[in-house]
Amino acid sequence: MIDGDLYGANGLDFGSTNVFWRQVRNFVIDLTSIPASTSATGIHWPTAQATSLQNILFEMAVGDGTQHQGIFIESGSGGYMGDLTFNGGLYGINVGNQQFTMRNMTFNNCGTAINQFWDWGWTYKSMYINNCEVALNMSTGGPSAQSVGSVTFIDSSITNTPIGFITGRLKNGESLPPATGSLILENVELNNVPIAVEGPDGIALAGTTGSTVIAGWGQGHAYTPNGPTNFEGPITPNQRPGALLQGDGKYYERSKPQYGTVPVSNFLSARSFGAKGDGSTDDTAALQALFLAGTAPGKMVFINAGTYKVTRTVYIPPGCKIVGETYPVIMSSGSFFNDWNHPKPVLQVGLPGQFGQVEWSDTIVSTQGQQKGAILIEWNLASSSSNPSGVWDVHARIGGFAGSNLQLTECPTTPNVATPPAPVNAECIAAFLTFHVTQSATGLYLENVWLWTADHDVEDPNLTQITIYAGRGLIVDSRQGVLWLYGTAVEHHTLEQYFFWNTQAVVMGQIQTETPYYQ
């Protein structure tokens, strides 16, 4: 019913690993008018980073013979999705992709709630599986040709379901290819689940007809501290700092707010504050006035679609609630951000020592041309661990797009240099640091945040590779910590992607990185 990437004469039209910056939310997808015996899919979603599905209900035919499925993914490089409900169907979700974080999903009366037929790594959190035949099947290929790399399944419950997990990994033998078929369970509640884990050579973990909680169990490779050694059995669950938890003992989580009950009159538009968003006008003063006005009680900052050029730091004070319209771009430009001996933030959230809360969603932050000293986002704000600041669907995009002056023409690769290393094109040094969580910051929730230094020109029909230089990705040196990172990815920075310095109390779901291709 909704197709994220159509099939064409040469396969998926857009190339699933290059389908970025898309959202689908707030739908009821009802397949029940289609005969149960007819194959039908709610959403086909072979996509990559910075895409999301949220707040969608899938209604499908129930019972033996149904061929309906809620979500089908066979390729791509995700990603995040959450707040989904699946009723009925042969599969709730039928998925294969490089990596994903999936959070807060409910499955009722499905044949198999989750059919995982390939991945590199996957994190499931807050899965609620009720009255299905199988909760998660990851056995594709069997022990000699497994196609699932790893699955982490935490803070979830399975109820009235005969089999929890079906794996393809042998109890005492190596799976092929090596290291595949890894499964980690932590804090998983079972209610009338007779078989918890079943492998090709029988029951790996017995379930119960009553109730129990799997504190920690796994199979795969262990390094304790040496390895790898094959293991299957109970594991000691991670210690959980209390500041990272919600009242039920699970890691804290919070869905992206959509502000549907806020009156239109409460929204402050970037346009009404004089910002042009045309990619050439200097919108620094207009955006600064907008964010300062946004701290008034009940007010919302609305950034209209467009590209907003800024030439000095724009400060976001505590109390702001910011939402973008179809991914507006805030883009730094000029000499102010071009001294790497004195780097400057493009967007500065709070000042060191300030306390309060910011909510921010659906925005892209970028740079234009040489920006050797640009820190795209500097987060200084301290927030309560029980009511943290939140960032949802906010992405950094450095180079590779129209107007960035960092495209194929300006920043081609240098593959034919006879004696490496190739000379650095200084005009393509586009950022100093992408996201800095500073010493004073605490209480920060990130969900679906992609910090990307472009490895190709997204405007080029051939998606030709380019070479852009950005020094550092996500640096966290928050002394108090208390951070949640769900569905984050940091790619193609020169020195590091994720860097944690003297911090504590950080929980991360699936994290995804790539080094720069010129390395």
**pLDDT tens digits along 285-330:** 999 999 999 999 999 999 999 999 999 999 999 999 999 999 999 9
User: Given this model, what pLDDT does residue 224 score?
Assistant: 87
User: Given this model, what pLDDT does residue 9 score?
Assistant: 59
441 — pLDDT class (breaks 50, 70, 90):
very high
Mean pLDDT over each residue of the chain, to the nearest integer: 96
- By DSSP bridging, strand 202-222 and strand 182-199 are antiparallel
Q: Evaluate whether 432 touches 453 at the Cβ level (below 8 Å).
A: no
pLDDT in tens, 67-91: 999 999 999 999 899 999 999 999 9
User: Is the pLDDT confidence value at 8 over 80?
Assistant: no
Domain boundaries in the chain? 2-238, 264-514
Q: Tell me the average pLDDT across 387-408.
A: 98
Q: Indicate the helix (H) or strand (E) that contains 96.
A: strand 91-108
**How many Å apart are CA 416 and CA 144, to the nearest integer?**
41
11 — pLDDT class (breaks 50, 70, 90):
low
Q: Is the pTM of this model over 0.75?
A: yes
Which of 438, 411, 370, 436 shows the shortest CA–CA distance to 516?
411
pLDDT in tens, 162-174: 999 999 999 877 7
Distance of CA 309 to the CA centre of its chain: 26
Q: Tell me the average pLDDT across 403-419.
A: 90
Burial (Cβ within 10 Å: 0-12, 13-18, ≥19) of residue 295? middle
CATH of domain 2-238: 2.160.20.10
Q: Tell me the average pLDDT across 386-400.
A: 97
Q: Tell me the average pLDDT across 454-462.
A: 96
User: Is the pLDDT confidence value at 421 over 80?
Assistant: no
419 — pLDDT class (breaks 50, 70, 90):
confident
Question: Count H helices, E strands: the chain?
Answer: 1, 34
By mean pLDDT, which of 33-42, 182-191, 385-394, 411-420 is the weakest? 411-420
Share of the chain above pLDDT 70, in %: 99
pLDDT in tens, 466-519: 999 999 999 999 999 999 999 999 999 999 999 999 999 999 999 999 999 998
Q: Indicate the helix (H) or strand (E) that contains 292.
A: helix 284-293
Pick the CATH number of 264-514 from 2.160.20.10, 3.40.50.920, 2.40.50.140, 2.60.120.10: 2.160.20.10
User: Given this model, what pLDDT does residue 172 score?
Assistant: 78
User: Given this model, what pLDDT does residue 23 score?
Assistant: 96
